[in-house]
Amino acid sequence: MLKIYNTLSGQKEVFKPIVEGKIGMYVCGNTVYDFCHIGHARAMISFDVISRVLRNLGYDLTYVRNITDVDDKIIKRAAENNELPSDLTERMIAAQQEDEKALGNLSPDREPKATEFMQEIIDMIQSLVDKGYAYQGDNGDVYYRASKFADYGKLNNRKLEEMLAGARIEVTESKEHPADFVLWKPVKAGEVHWDSPWGKGRPGWHIECSAMSTNCLGDHFDIHGGGPDLKFPHHENEIAQSEAATGKEYVNYWMHCGAVRVNNEKMSKSLGNFFTIREVLKLYNPEVLRYLMVSSHYRSPIDYSDQSLNDAKVALERLYNALRGQALSTAPESSDYRVRFEKALRDDFNTPVALSVLFDLVRDLNKAKTESPELAESLAAELSALASVLGLLYQDADYFLKNSLVSSEGMNSDDIEALIEERTLARKNKDFARSDEIRDLLADNGIELLDSREGTSWTRK
């Protein structure tokens, strides 16, 4: 029995798909005007894990995550770069895909772009106009009448007036009500635009997701996800638009991941604590960042710091050390580890508890290495199989242990291997002074040597 925390009800609920055995899940993706930051990584990894778990539990999942490729920020950044908006977005989409591949994420089943659904967007706006839920202001903008939708505020469990207090709401004389929001904007000089019944222009942000999600998954689907900052106004507006346009319930389960804080402060460029994924991956193996995100429950806030990354590195090294040089047999279809692991994940995707099962498995695996090699092979296979459900342990163990810390400073792998070869030759020639000198030199550079009958291996401290 799978339980999911539903933002709409504010509690865990037993999951019941609309169609038995099948799930439609839509997640709000990125506005592609810049490189992805660690907040993006939180959402991307959280829903990648959720999609993996759902499939592991036997569901036929269709995972859709959109790309916003027309937006004020895109137009502004493209103008600053003196390039076409389409050139900017294609470059940033390619960069995002590179980041996700490095982090071990699987691609969604569909990644619709807003610019590919312009007619569907226009059709949905026209439906809202025809039903009296939208109107064109004297400034040319087409607005949604928030006050006409009786359930406005149900996702955030607040009344319309309460949500307006303290919210950043664009106030203009062209609106009938301060809470009304833009569905269509008239074109400005030099901007990308499309023809519509309300003149040349482009869509507002909220209507894009309503059109893309319903066209990809139907008017009523199972799960809608996103970051914590999207609950209001974006997701609240999506509900209002979609249900008014279709006359149907929009989504059954709303899921939101927790925010990322940096050294216990909100991440902000103005505070100088803003990090892109690419900046982090210059220092750490990408799986370290993935482990950090998985080690916290997806709904919990997570603190990003040098200490938290180093803790993640140490934990991941413990898992990989258990697999290093270990033969794998066939993982059992059922075991106490798997039962406990899946029980944790069925409880609203509780990855911290699932990880604790993996470390119990590692303890027993290390013990079995000396007592029962055959059992060790089975446990190693199970460790690898269960970890893959979380998108972990996807690298060669020896490679990861040599490259868990990536630094532009110090020795690279070729330097280290050359010194180890020189040390091996020195030991063979009984030049122990040189052998010790090389070991000390490597230790000073954070390299730990592990001697065995098979030779010398190494890891970064």
For residue range 186-225, list pLDDT tens digits in order.
999 889 999 999 999 999 999 999 999 999 999 999 999 9
Say if strands 22-27 and 201-203 run parallel, antiparallel, or are unpaired: unpaired
Say if strands 447-452 and 455-460 run parallel, antiparallel, or are unpaired: antiparallel
Here the tokens at position 166 are 């303290």
**Span(s) in the chain for CATH 3.40.50.620:** 3-260
* Interval 89-101 mean pLDDT: 97
Of 21-30, 160-169, 212-221, the least confident: 160-169
Is 377 annotated to bind a ligand? Reply is no
* Interval 419-437 mean pLDDT: 87
What is the C-alpha to C-alpha distance for residues 226 and 68, in angstroms, rounded to an integer? Answer: 14
Which pLDDT value is given to residue 298? 98
Across the chain, what does the average pLDDT equal? 93
- Other Cβ atoms less than 10 A from the Cβ of 82: the count is 6
Is 313 annotated to bind a ligand? Reply is no
| Percent of the chain whose predicted confidence (pLDDT) is above 70 | 97
Which residue is associated with the tokens 């991307």? 44
Of 116-130, 370-384, 444-458, the least confident: 444-458
Greater confidence (449 vs 351) lies with 351
Beta bridge partners of 254: 224
Greater confidence (432 vs 230) lies with 230
* Interval 257-275 mean pLDDT: 84
Here the tokens at position 289 are 């960042």
Which pLDDT value is given to residue 97? 97
Which pLDDT value is given to residue 169? 63
Is 234 annotated to bind a ligand? Reply is yes
Is 90 exceeded by the pLDDT of residue 437? no
Q: How many CA atoms lie within 13 A of 25 on its CB side?
A: 27
What is the C-alpha to C-alpha distance for residues 259 and 42, in angstroms, rounded to an integer? Answer: 8
- Other Cβ atoms less than 10 A from the Cβ of 117: the count is 20
- The fold of the 282-403 domain, in CATH, is Four Helix Bundle (Hemerythrin (Met), subunit A) (1.20.120)
What is the C-alpha to C-alpha distance for residues 385 and 387, in angstroms, rounded to an integer? Answer: 6
| Percent of the chain whose predicted confidence (pLDDT) is above 90 | 78
Is 70 exceeded by the pLDDT of residue 160? yes
At CB < 8 A and 24+ separation, what contacts does 125-133 make? 125/183, 125/184, 125/196, 125/198, 125/203, 125/207, 126/197, 127/245, 128/183, 128/241, 128/244, 128/245, 131/244, 131/245, 133/241, 133/244, 133/245
- With a threshold of 0.75, does the pTM exceed it? yes
* Interval 89-109 mean pLDDT: 97
What is the C-alpha to C-alpha distance for residues 359 and 319, in angstroms, rounded to an integer? Answer: 7
* Interval 151-156 mean pLDDT: 96
Position 166 confidence tier, pLDDT thresholds 50, 70, 90: low
Cβ-based neighbours of 57, under 8 Å, separated by 6 or more? 2, 342, 345, 346
Q: List the CATH code of the domain at 3-260.
A: 3.40.50.620
- For residue 423, the surrounding DSSP H or E stretch is helix 413-428
Are the C-beta atoms of 192 and 202 separated by less than 8 Å? Answer: yes
Which pLDDT value is given to residue 38? 96
**Span(s) in the chain for CATH 1.20.120.640:** 282-403
Are the C-beta atoms of 95 and 57 separated by less than 8 Å? Answer: no
Which pLDDT value is given to residue 190? 86
Here the tokens at position 101 are 């591949």
Helix axes 306-323, 351-371, angle to 10 degrees: 40
Here the tokens at position 59 are 């569901």
Is 257 annotated to bind a ligand? Reply is no
Is 216 annotated to bind a ligand? Reply is no
- For residue 221, the surrounding DSSP H or E stretch is strand 221-226
Which pLDDT value is given to residue 408? 41
Q: Residues 305-318: pLDDT tens digits?
A: 999 999 999 999 99
What is the C-alpha to C-alpha distance for residues 54 and 346, in angstroms, rounded to an integer? Answer: 9
Residue 248 burial by Cβ neighbours in a 10 Å radius (0-12, 13-18, 19+): exposed
Are the C-beta atoms of 363 and 414 separated by less than 8 Å? Answer: no
Is 60 exceeded by the pLDDT of residue 98? yes
112 prior amide bond cis, ω within 30: no
Cβ-based neighbours of 147, under 8 Å, separated by 6 or more? 160, 176, 177, 179, 180
Say if strands 134-136 and 142-144 run parallel, antiparallel, or are unpaired: antiparallel
